Amino acid sequence: MGAGDGFVEVPAGRYALGEPGEERTRELGRVLIGRWPIVNAQVREFLGERAAAAHEAEALADHPATGLTRADAEAFCAWLSERLGRRVRLPTGDEWEAAARGGDGRPYPWGDMFDPERCACAESGWGWTVPVDAHPAGAGPFGTEQQAGNVWEWVSDRGADGWGAVRGGSYLDTGWGLRASRVQPADPERPTNTTGFRIVVEEGG
């Protein structure tokens, strides 16, 4: 799973987004988004000697990279942009949600009903992160995986107070907390063991 591999297309179109009772529709352009969150092996290559023990552990190489601030995630994007010769960035919250919910506005990437067998969550009892390819049956309508549970994911949205936003829930969250419409405010300067990120690659360079 190379850093430049594993992208899926979210087609241009009009998407139903937002929490129940706060629904909205958004017209979005086509986007190439990571099939999986960025993993420890990729961050280890980026950080080099600054990599944390979790990033270096071979047993966790294919687990989502955590312990990163939003600035760390953005720095990874800048580094990978240079390597690929194309702009790499965090997805917007709307892009992330559209990838998870598809054209029918489903609450979970796989459909209407919560299923703990399709994700790493409190109900499934994993108790820690799992490899990003551990739940292919939890894939979304366009092919993204791990958009429910495992780790929260930084998106590019910024609040008026300067705080950031994370999406998707983690292995500690229950089914209600893993809805694709859920947005959690997050301190962009605080790294946690439950937050990672996935990326978008722009085709125009």
In a domain, 2, yes or no: no
CB atoms within 10 A of CB 38: 25
**Once rounded to an integer, what is the mean pLDDT over residues 105-122?**
97
**Once rounded to an integer, what is the mean pLDDT over residues 48-61?**
89
Residue 54: predicted pLDDT? 85
Q: How many domains does the chain have?
A: 1
In a domain, 177, yes or no: yes
In a domain, 12, yes or no: yes
The CATH number that applies at residue 95 is 3.90.1580.10
In a domain, 1, yes or no: no
In a domain, 115, yes or no: yes
Residue 5: predicted pLDDT? 55
pLDDT (tens digit per residue) in 164-201? 999 999 999 999 999 999 999 999 999 999 999 999 99
In a domain, 18, yes or no: yes
**Once rounded to an integer, what is the mean pLDDT over residues 45-55?**
88
Residue 151, phi then psi, degrees to nearest 5 = -140, 150
The model's pTM is 0.95
pLDDT grade, residue 53 (50/70/90)?
confident
In a domain, 191, yes or no: yes
In a domain, 180, yes or no: yes
Q: Which domain holds residue 29?
A: 7-201
Tell me the residue type at 130.
V
Residue 48: predicted pLDDT? 87
pLDDT (tens digit per residue) in 102-112? 999 999 999 99
Looking at residue 167, what DSSP letter applies? Answer: E
Contact between 17 and 95 (Cβ < 8 Å) = no
**Once rounded to an integer, what is the mean pLDDT over residues 32-52?**
94
Q: At what angle do helices 40-47 and 70-84 cross, to 10 degrees?
A: 80
Tell me the residue type at 19.
E
pLDDT grade, residue 204 (50/70/90)?
low
The answer on pLDDT for 4 being more than 60 is no
Q: pLDDT above 70 covers what percent of the chain?
A: 97
